Each structure stands twice: as structure tokens, then as C-alpha cells.
Structure 1
Amino acid sequence: MTEQGLPTNRALSGRNLTYGLLDELGRAIVTGAFTDTPFPTEADLAKHYSVSRSVTREAVKMLTAKGLLSARPRQGTVVRPESAWNLFDPDVLRWLLERKFSLVLLRQFSELRVTIEPGAAALAARAGTPEGLALIEAGYRRMVAAEEGRDDALDADIAFHVSILQASGNPFYAQFRDVVVTALRTSILFTNRFKGRTASLPAHRAVKDAIEARDPEAAQAAMDYIIRDVLVLIDAAEQQDANATV
């Protein structure tokens, strides 16, 4: 590895170099490395990372497509404000997680989840196929295994929630997979740290049972309860922070 963290293997293809540079620059942008510093020119990037101009050009083009950069006449390439970033892009979501932990970001993630996942649970109850219900059952079984130390708790929880998006049968809900996975990783790490607890098996069982019983209202309410419980914890953490600064 170079000191910039890029691979040095000469057998790597140009595409791998491009994605290595994309990851390096995207992470730097999202974590604020260029807040007070102009974004480098393609020539400077090529020299600094010891890659070709075509590699830097392609990486910059991809970052532009993600909403992180824009090219302006006579101003060169500049970092765009966060409001312009494509927050549904899986790379952007991943880089956001690498910033300093933020209760604001966690609240925003949770507010989005509470508008998505209960609806997906209701749809899964109403129209879920046997294959979709089997996915939910498998996700729940993984959570049970994690409780017994036979699986990873975070991965199992994610598998359960993703299975409900898939079981909804609505491809638009399924497209929220990356958002929900990122939100869950942030949320679960927070709840474990703030309350020292893992996901509630009974609460998740209630979602599964309602879906299997073909009860959309109960499924929606049960999923809503899980996510709003996180919002309650966020409120408590924000109050704790406010009291600490008084």
C-alpha cells in the first residue's frame, strides 16, 4: 500500500485504480478535508497519487455524478455543498458513516426509516409471497442465533430488516436497501453504546408474526414501534448532551 492507502500492485487494472482513487477522494470530501482547501486539479491529483490523468479524470467524473463535485468555467473543480450530494448513493452513505458520530445524522436516518420500513412491513403482510415470508423467517432465525452467540448481532438485525423490504414486493422499497443498512449500522452502534443493549427479539418477533398473520396494521405498528424506540433514545442522548453543557 502507498502512504495514501492506494494499492501498489502493478497487476491491478485501471478500473481498480480508479475506484481506489474514488474511495480516497470521496472519503476526504465527505469527512471535510477540503472545507477550507481548494479541491486539487487533475494534474495535482495524478502527481500526488501516482496515477494517470485518465484515472483522475474518471474518478472526478464519478464524484461529480454523485453530487460531490462540480466543474465551473474559470473556477475549476469545486466541492459542492452537502445539500447537493446524492445521499442515496451507497458510497456517499458509507463515507458519511466515517465522519464523526452525529446525533443529528442518526435522527435524520431514523426519521427516514420510520417513513419507509413500517410501510414495507404492511405491504409484506398484505402481499408477501411464500419466498418473501421465508426470507423474513430466515432473518429472524439469524437474530435468535445471534442472541445465543451463534451469529453476528448486527448482521442478523440488518438481514431481518432487509428481508422485509424485499418481501414487500415493491421494487421501490427494495431500492432503499442501502439506506436502511447504513441507518441500521449507525443506529445499532449508537443503541449498544448508549444503552448497552441489542435489538429486542420480542419486538422483531411481533413484526414477523403480524406479517405471517397477514395483518398489515399490526405489522406496520410493530415496525413503527421498533424505530420510534430509537428516536426516544436519541431524545434522551440529546437531553444528556444539553445537560452536560449547562
Structure 2
Amino acid sequence: MAGPSPFLIDEPVSQLGRNLTYGLLDSIGRAIVTGQFDNAVFPTEAELAKQHGVSRSVTREAVKMLTAKGLLSARPRQGTTVQPTSSWNLFDTDVLRWMLERQLSVDLLRQFNELRVAVEPEAAALAAQVAGEDDIKRIDEGLQRMQAAERGLDEPLDADIAFHVAVLRASKNPFYIQLRDVVSTALRTSIRFTNRIKGRTADVAEHAKVRDAIASRDPAAARIAMRRIIGDVLDLIEVRLPSDE
């Protein structure tokens, strides 16, 4: 009897390969960010394959992806080396997630929110000028989710993130919009941190002021309202910094 056609397993094997690659990417990436390779020679592809029980092709692909993220450098006759933090792509959501997960860094949260305060108030001001009705509807839906979360009917983190991402999208600026994944990733840590200090979730009334200003086509008010939200976060972080450094 003829055996099964090899073509029947192509897709499952392909999917398995992708899962193995991303699993290895996550494992090595986290190890690099947490300093496990500091002052140590980075393993060869053959050694990594053996250590993790995967094929050389899976290892090669994971190393290639980590190189693209700025964590590794592979050069002829020099091998593969871990790059300094200054070379890492901090706008890559995997890199940012690994950095935030390695140990809660209040200083990193401050730096992230300094980026936010430079971007989100201007995005809100732009949204007040150019947002369409669908954009304002999404912002309003985010606010409604925040209100529902206060009553225990939605997830506070997801609701808060939905609001801020909706404002970025409403700016119509492609550079601001592409920051949505970075903002979403980092906000998950930032919001947990600030909520733990405040003992409550985000101030819905302050977020409503941003929504109202955008809906009223008032760029100055939108900018001020968003700056106040992020400024409050920065104030909380500055208060906490001396005891966490």
C-alpha cells in the first residue's frame, strides 16, 4: 500500500517551523536582554540548535530576525556577537516587551512616557483638525469601554489602550499611527505601574476632556488635555524614582 502523500504534511510542518522559530526567537531574545550573554561568547548556530533541540534552519532564521532587531551582529570571521543596547531597535515590540519584562524599570517607563508626551498631545491636536466621524466614533467607543471598565464590565488595560490608539489613528499621520503597537505594548506595563501607585484605574473624566476637545475641533484644548494625562503619569513616576533606582 502506498504511503501518504508528502504534500499532505507540508502546511503543518511549515506552521511548526514558524512556531519553533518564534519560540527560539523569544527565548534567545529574552536571554540577550536579561544579560545572560554578557561577558560570554555567543553560541554558534550549531550550538544553539543542539541546546534548544531545533534544526539549523530554524536557528538560522531566529538569528537573522534577532539581527534585524539590532540585538545581534553576524560578520564573516567574527561570528555572531551581542550588540550594545544602543543598537537595539526600541520601536520593535518584541524588544520593548523583553526590556519591560526583564525587571520593572521605572527609568525605562519614564523614558517611554517622555516619548508619549512628545507625540500623543500633538496627535490629539491633529485629530481635532482632521479626524473623521468614524475616528471620533472609535475614540468615543474607547471612552465608553473605560467607563464600562469602571463598572467591572470591561478590561481596564484594554479599554485605556483602545482609547489612546484611537487618538493616534485619528491624527491621520502615518508616523504617529505606526507607533500604535509600541504604545500598546509599553502601556500595558506603564498602566499597571501607575495604577498600582494610585490604587485606581485611569481618570476617565480627563480622557473625556480629550474626546470632547477633538469632537469640538479644538486643537489647543485637545493638546492640553492629553498632555495633562501623560504629565500625571510622569509625576507619579518621578515621585517613585528615588526609591526604585
Structures share a fold, TM > 0.5?
A: yes
User: Quick one: which amino acid aligns to residue 55 of structure 2?
Assistant: S
What is the match of residue 86 of structure 2?
A: 83
| Sequence identity (%) | 65
User: Quick one: which amino acid aligns to residue 70 of structure 1?
Assistant: S
- Distance in 2, Cα, partners of 1:190 & 1:14: 36
2:110 to 89, 107, 111: 107
What is the match of residue 141 of structure 1?
A: 144
What is the match of residue 50 of structure 1?
A: 53
1:11 and 1:166, CA in 2 relative to 1: closer, same or farther beyond 3 A? closer
1:165 and 1:26, CA in 2 relative to 1: closer, same or farther beyond 3 A? same
SS of alignment partner, residue 42 of structure 2: coil
**Is residue 201 of structure 1 aligned with residue 204 of structure 2?**
yes
**Is residue 26 of structure 1 aligned with residue 29 of structure 2?**
yes
Shift of 1:21: 0.8
Cα deviation digits, residues 127-154 of structure 1 (max 9, x gap): 1001100100100000000001000001
SS of alignment partner, residue 192 of structure 2: helix
- Distance in 1, Cα, partners of 2:33 & 2:66: 11
Shift of 1:195: 2.3
> Pairwise CA RMSD of aligned residues?
1.6
Shift of 1:99: 1.1
What is the match of residue 123 of structure 1?
A: 126
Segments of 5+ residues of structure 1 without an aligned counterpart are 1-8
* Map 1:54-73 → 2, pairs under 5 A: 54-73=57-76
Cα deviation digits, residues 159-182 of structure 1 (max 9, x gap): 000000011111111000122112
- Distance in 1, Cα, partners of 2:232 & 2:243: 17
Cα deviation digits, residues 25-82 of structure 1 (max 9, x gap): 1111112111132211100011111111111111101100110000134331110000
- Distance in 1, Cα, partners of 2:173 & 2:40: 44
Scaled by the length of structure 1, the TM-score of the pair is 0.91
SS of alignment partner, residue 89 of structure 2: coil
- Distance in 2, Cα, partners of 1:100 & 1:63: 21
SS of alignment partner, residue 37 of structure 1: coil
Equivalent pair of 2:106/2:244 in contact (CA under 8 Å): no
SS of alignment partner, residue 40 of structure 2: coil
Equivalent pair of 1:67/1:85 in contact (CA under 8 Å): yes
**Is residue 179 of structure 1 aligned with residue 182 of structure 2?**
yes
User: Quick one: which amino acid aligns to residue 152 of structure 1?
Assistant: E
What is the match of residue 213 of structure 2?
A: 210
Shift of 1:11: 8.4
Equivalent pair of 1:110/1:183 in contact (CA under 8 Å): no
Between 1:69-78 and 1:103-112, the stretch displaced more is 69-78
Between 1:72-81 and 1:99-108, the stretch displaced more is 72-81
What is the match of residue 5 of structure 1?
A: none
What is the match of residue 225 of structure 1?
A: 228
- Distance in 2, Cα, partners of 1:195 & 1:33: 34
- Distance in 1, Cα, partners of 2:125 & 2:186: 20
Equivalent pair of 2:33/2:102 in contact (CA under 8 Å): yes
Segments of 5+ residues of structure 2 without an aligned counterpart are 1-11
Equivalent pair of 1:206/1:222 in contact (CA under 8 Å): yes
Shift of 1:84: 0.2
Aligned residues: 234
SS of alignment partner, residue 13 of structure 1: helix
2:169 to 130, 145, 166: 166
- Distance in 1, Cα, partners of 2:98 & 2:166: 24
Between 1:16-25 and 1:151-160, the stretch displaced more is 16-25
- Distance in 1, Cα, partners of 2:170 & 2:57: 42
